Amino acid sequence: MFTITELSTERINRIVQEALGFAEGKTARIEGDVFCSNLFFEDSTRTKTSFDIAERKLGLQVVPFDASNSSVNKGESLYDTVKTIESLGVNLVVIRDKKDRYFDELKNIKIPVINGGDGTGNHPSQCMLDLMTIYQEFGKFEGLKVGIVGDVKHSRVANSNAEALRRLGAKVYFSGPEQWFDEGALINGTYLSVDEMIHEVDVLMLLRIQHERHDSKMSFSASEYHRKYGLTKERERAMKKEAIIMHPAPINRGVEIDTDLVECGRSRIFRQMQNGVFARMAILKEALEKEGYTFK
Amino acid sequence: MFTITELSTERINRIVQEALGFAEGKTARIEGDVFCSNLFFEDSTRTKTSFDIAERKLGLQVVPFDASNSSVNKGESLYDTVKTIESLGVNLVVIRDKKDRYFDELKNIKIPVINGGDGTGNHPSQCMLDLMTIYQEFGKFEGLKVGIVGDVKHSRVANSNAEALRRLGAKVYFSGPEQWFDEGALINGTYLSVDEMIHEVDVLMLLRIQHERHDSKMSFSASEYHRKYGLTKERERAMKKEAIIMHPAPINRGVEIDTDLVECGRSRIFRQMQNGVFARMAILKEALEKEGYTFK
Amino acid sequence: MFTITELSTERINRIVQEALGFAEGKTARIEGDVFCSNLFFEDSTRTKTSFDIAERKLGLQVVPFDASNSSVNKGESLYDTVKTIESLGVNLVVIRDKKDRYFDELKNIKIPVINGGDGTGNHPSQCMLDLMTIYQEFGKFEGLKVGIVGDVKHSRVANSNAEALRRLGAKVYFSGPEQWFDEGALINGTYLSVDEMIHEVDVLMLLRIQHERHDSKMSFSASEYHRKYGLTKERERAMKKEAIIMHPAPINRGVEIDTDLVECGRSRIFRQMQNGVFARMAILKEALEKEGYTFK
């Protein structure tokens, strides 16, 4: 699984339902010795650990892979590295890489490749956990209003989520510094100011401010961002009664969200992390079943 | 478990006895899938590997965590990192951190946190393995004379050990460069010169010279330290017949101790490492049983 | 197992046969909880991962060891580090180190030590997998002609292979830049030009150009090396009908070998990686059986 675009809404729904089953206590354990490895060429403790635990819960054997010491650093191509891992007998890999659509180079790899995030492009497992968290709350997608605040254009999460939500029947709004939104960023939603949006939405998704990526564009300080676009206590009070707050984490406390709201009643931020393991179990199980592996 | 101070002598004795049981071949295996992770924000292969093996011997699943690539380096707070790990479904964490009493920030974490060492403060699992090694040798603590040589004030090990030994009825002596000892360092023991101490003690604990921490204070060379305060062959000959030598390792051979004495008859240095796994099994088992987990 | 020199041809044959059994689907699983650790003080994802998978397939518990954070970096000797790992209850270690014959320091270690490569000296597990790959193809060693192209003198692989093949009855030829060959390099074989060799050999082993090691000696560019000594498409066409191509990887595509030949019909390069796991299973099993461990 590389992108959300390639998934039919039927398949998305099937994975969401499987993930919800795991959240409710369903278990699945693979039969036989099956090996997987998480090739993370870009740091992400959260996503990597989430996959790692999902894999172990399914009974897979997780073969460690240290990207920082790998031959990729000696100039080996991604294809040759993955082909090596496949030759060594690993039965499935999860890959995160800085390069957009790195998976286009991997057509001749025969084992399943799960996309753990590519460049600024896709992050389908994060998308599935976000969808699952929304469904868990509202029991549907159709007719929901979802607001996404932040640098939508450069966010893997926002792109995948907005597209999927639109296809599933939700209405998507975007907000954040206007200079971050041009036509390309608004394919799957409509721009609103944060204060217009806050009264409307059932789901408020805050994106992480990527200081790393905005050095030149960031023309405001953290506290200025918070005041203009962040979730302050006042804004939280203006939200609809049943509305929930989401954030892919790691959080910049006091920037995207007031520190006291991180664990408030309508925050689903740590619930998202819990759900991440279940969503990834569903994704992995689907990929392995397609290869003929069985679970008990 | 964060500090030795918080442990009653009864609880210390119970853990020591459990650890001695493991050393004699007793086994315990947790029931069900239980996940743990070792969050070591300060390097320590020895302690980390010791916990890792203890966890595996108890049947826990050890989820790898690479501190050097974690979000803590992107400015995430320790609390948010640990809360994330908890949300991902990890059932117990062991933490080592450079910050004294880092655990004070973690009050809202619901899973057990085991202290693998904090700043210059506490190192309770090392203390338990040292106590266990002494008990294994003498079958008691009451009335034993224990000498600790080195930078007691900046040593996690020395602080915890001296306090516990005093409470358990042993008499503690300290030695080393006098400028390292002020009033604060002498709460749990009495200063003696190395040559006075050597005839007296049943247990001689040598501390590692932390070159890292003494750049300015170290006014003597390694060989000068060895001659003045180290365990030379002459000093070893002056020890009581049944007295034993301990060192938390890694050893600076030829500084704290003559290289030929590292594996001599009265050295318990590698025995301490063996015992470390058993002491940590006892600590982990106690923490997990308190949460309702069962072992067979 | 440290070197190929120490192995009788009978023992080499026994390990090759055991490895071939694993390749054909035979399995072996150790009885009881047995711990191993891979101490790689020099990076090698490929070899480390191969051992890791071999160990897991045999049912061993693999204790992670991060050389870059280990006490060896604080000046601890290799002996003290390995003695520590042994004391912690690890039952077998695999070691790779930059130092030639590092294992000479480890005489007092009681657990089995498997050599995962030492300096420019030995790499017996790579040798076993190469031998196994050749035997798998031809069903014999006697009378085969094997050509090795590259920096034989500085190659662990070439040294071990040439010696073993000669002892097993094969005829070994060497090729590559003439300045890389002096008397010391030609103990186990004869120098031929690449174009002379290509018509003769049943097995063509290409060695990796170690840019790291040749800064001063490398007086030609990558494309010049390819043209003069590399396996071009023309040269491949000149090979004998049943001849095979081998390379220990990672490959410099377009240098040692034309990129289109890497997965051509006579290439066994990825097969070698597959076989590596089986060869290492055989090596590990032999070492553990000698210690009295049993497999089912």
Contact criterion met (CB below 8 Å) for A133 and A275: yes
| Pairwise CB contact (< 8 Å): B65 & A49 | yes
| Pairwise CB contact (< 8 Å): B270 & C84 | yes
- Percentage with pLDDT > 90 across chain B: 80
- Comparing C179 with C50, the larger pLDDT belongs to C50
**Tens-place pLDDT, residues A259-278:** 999 999 999 999 999 999 99
| β-bridge partners, B30 | B295
Give pLDDT, residue B218. 60
Contact criterion met (CB below 8 Å) for A131 and A163: no
Closest approach of chain C CAs to the CA of A41, in angstroms?
Answer: 14
Per-position b or e across A58-72, b if 16+ CB within 10 A of its CB: bbbbbbbbbbebbbb
Q: How many domains does chain A have?
A: 2
Element (H, E) at C166: helix C156-167
Chain A, 54-73: which have a CB under 8 Å from a chain C CB?
61, 63-66, 69-71
Indicate the pLDDT class of residue B188, thresholds 50, 70 and 90.
confident
Q: Same domain, yes or no, for C155 and C234? A: yes
pLDDT at B214 over 80: no
| Pairwise CB contact (< 8 Å): B88 & A43 | no
Q: Same domain, yes or no, for A108 and A14? A: yes
Q: Could you tell me if B260 lies within 8 Å of chain C, comparing CB atoms?
A: no
Q: How far apart are CA A286 and CA B154, in angstroms?
A: 54
| Pairwise CB contact (< 8 Å): B252 & C75 | yes
pLDDT at B236 over 60: yes
Give pLDDT, residue B154. 81
Q: Could you say which DSSP state residue A279 is in? A: H
Best to test chain B binding among A38, A44, A49, A209 (most B CBs inside 10 Å): A49
Give pLDDT, residue A213. 54
Q: Which two tokens stand for residue B292?
A: 């309702």
Closest residue by Cα to residue B147 from B60, B224, B75, B243: B243
Q: Same domain, yes or no, for C130 and C259? A: yes
Q: Does residue A219 lie in a domain region?
A: yes
**Tens-place pLDDT, residues A198-253:** 999 999 999 998 765 555 556 678 999 999 999 999 999 999 999 999 999 999 99
Element (H, E) at C130: helix C124-138
- Comparing A155 with C212, the larger pLDDT belongs to A155
Q: Does residue C20 lie in a domain region?
A: yes
| Pairwise CB contact (< 8 Å): B35 & A56 | yes
Sign of torsion over alpha carbons C49, C50, C53, C58: negative
Give pLDDT, residue B43. 86
Q: Does residue A29 lie in a domain region?
A: yes
Q: Which two tokens stand for residue A281?
A: 């179990």
What share of residues in chain B are helix, strand, coil (percent, to 5)? 45, 15, 40
Indicate the pLDDT class of residue C162, thresholds 50, 70 and 90.
very high
Q: Does residue A224 lie in a domain region?
A: yes
Give pLDDT, residue B285. 98
Within 8 A of C34 by CB-CB distance, chain B residues are: none
Q: How far apart are CA A51 and CA C59, in angstroms?
A: 23
**Cα C124 to chain centroid, rounded:** 6
Contact criterion met (CB below 8 Å) for C83 and B270: yes
Q: How far apart are CA B230 and CA B257, in angstroms?
A: 5
Q: Same domain, yes or no, for C214 and C129? A: yes
Closest residue by Cα to residue C78 from C93, C92, C97: C97
Residues of C marked as binding for L-aspartate?
74, 156, 208
Q: How far apart are CA C58 and CA C61, in angstroms?
A: 9
Q: Could you tell me if B100 lies within 8 Å of chain A, comparing CB atoms?
A: no
Q: What is the mean pLDDT of residues C272-283?
A: 98
Q: How far apart are CA B152 and CA B157, in angstroms?
A: 8
Give pLDDT, residue B216. 54
Q: Residue A87 belongs to a domain with what CATH number?
A: 3.40.50.1370
| Pairwise CB contact (< 8 Å): B273 & C35 | no
Q: Could you tell me if C253 lies within 8 Å of chain A, comparing CB atoms?
A: yes
Contact criterion met (CB below 8 Å) for A182 and A148: no
What share of residues in chain A are helix, strand, coil (percent, to 5)? 45, 15, 40
Question: Residues 6 or more apart from B80 whose CB is under 8 A from it?
Answer: A249, A250, A251, A253, A262, B71
Q: What is the mean pLDDT of residues A16-21?
A: 98
Q: Does residue C1 lie in a domain region?
A: no
Ranges of H-type helices in chain A: 9-23, 45-57, 78-87, 124-138, 156-167, 194-197, 222-229, 233-237, 269-290
Q: Same domain, yes or no, for B205 and B235? A: yes
Q: Which two tokens stand for residue C156?
A: 């662990």
Q: Same domain, yes or no, for C171 and C150? A: yes
Q: Same domain, yes or no, for A156 and A71? A: no
Q: Which two tokens stand for residue A103?
A: 């998976």
Q: Which two tokens stand for residue A233?
A: 């206590």
Of A49, A251, A252, the CB nearest to B88: A49
Q: Which two tokens stand for residue B206?
A: 């040598």
Subunits with 3+ Cβ pairs within 8 Å of A are B, C
Of B56, B68, B273, the CB nearest to C84: B273
Give pLDDT, residue C275. 98
Q: Same domain, yes or no, for B109 and B201? A: no
Per-position b or e across A239-256, b if 16+ CB within 10 A of its CB: beeebbbbbbbbbbbbbb
Q: Same domain, yes or no, for A157 and A261? A: yes
Of C250, C253, C262, the CB nearest to A71: C250
Closest residue by Cα to residue A286 from A64, A62, A128, A106: A128
Q: How far apart are CA C262 and CA A84, in angstroms?
A: 12
pLDDT at C32 over 80: yes
Question: 3-state class of A294 per DSSP?
Answer: coil
| Pairwise CB contact (< 8 Å): C88 & B276 | yes
Of B66, B80, B88, the CB nearest to A251: B80
Per-position b or e across C105-142, b if 16+ CB within 10 A of its CB: ebeebebbbbbbbbbbbbbbbbbbbbbbbbbbbbeebe
Q: Could you say which DSSP state residue A72 is in? A: G
| Pairwise CB contact (< 8 Å): A63 & C46 | no
Q: Could you tell me if A252 lies within 8 Å of chain B, comparing CB atoms?
A: yes
Subunits with 3+ Cβ pairs within 8 Å of B are A, C
**Tens-place pLDDT, residues A131-186:** 999 999 999 999 999 999 998 888 888 988 999 999 999 999 999 998 888 777 77
| β-bridge partners, A136 | none
Of B53, B64, B251, the CB nearest to C88: B53
* Closest residue, chain A, to B39 (C-alpha): A45
Identify the residue whose tokens are 């409470």: B167
Average pLDDT of the residues of chain B = 93
Q: How does DSSP assign B219-273, residue by residue?
A: -S-HHHHHHHHSB-HHHHHTS-TT-EEE--S---BTTTB-GGGTTSTTB-HHHHH
The one-letter amino acid at C1:
M
User: How would you classify the pairing of strands C203-206 and C145-149?
Assistant: parallel
Q: Same domain, yes or no, for C133 and C257? A: yes
Q: Which two tokens stand for residue B293?
A: 């987990």
Average pLDDT of the residues of chain A = 93
Domain that holds residue B79: 9-123+274-290
Q: Does residue A201 lie in a domain region?
A: yes
Q: Same domain, yes or no, for A13 and A109? A: yes
What's the distance, Cα to Cα, between the start and end of chain B in Å?
23
Torsion of CA A279, A281, A287, A290, to 10 degrees: -110
A253-262, C104-113, C136-145, C186-195: the lowest-pLDDT one: C186-195
Q: Same domain, yes or no, for C118 and C171? A: no
Q: How does DSSP assign C218-268, residue by residue?
A: --S-HHHHHHHHSB-HHHHHTS-TT-EEE--S---BTTTB-GGGTTSTTB-
Contact criterion met (CB below 8 Å) for C185 and C152: yes
Element (H, E) at B194: helix B194-198
Best to test chain B binding among A53, A60, A261, A270 (most B CBs inside 10 Å): A53
Q: What is the mean pLDDT of residues C211-222?
A: 64
Q: Does residue C159 lie in a domain region?
A: yes
**Tens-place pLDDT, residues B35-74:** 999 999 998 889 999 999 999 999 999 999 988 877 776 7
Q: Does residue A227 lie in a domain region?
A: yes
pLDDT at A35 over 60: yes
Q: What is the mean pLDDT of residues C28-40?
A: 97
Element (H, E) at B35: strand B35-40
Q: What is the mean pLDDT of residues A102-106?
A: 96
| β-bridge partners, B253 | B257
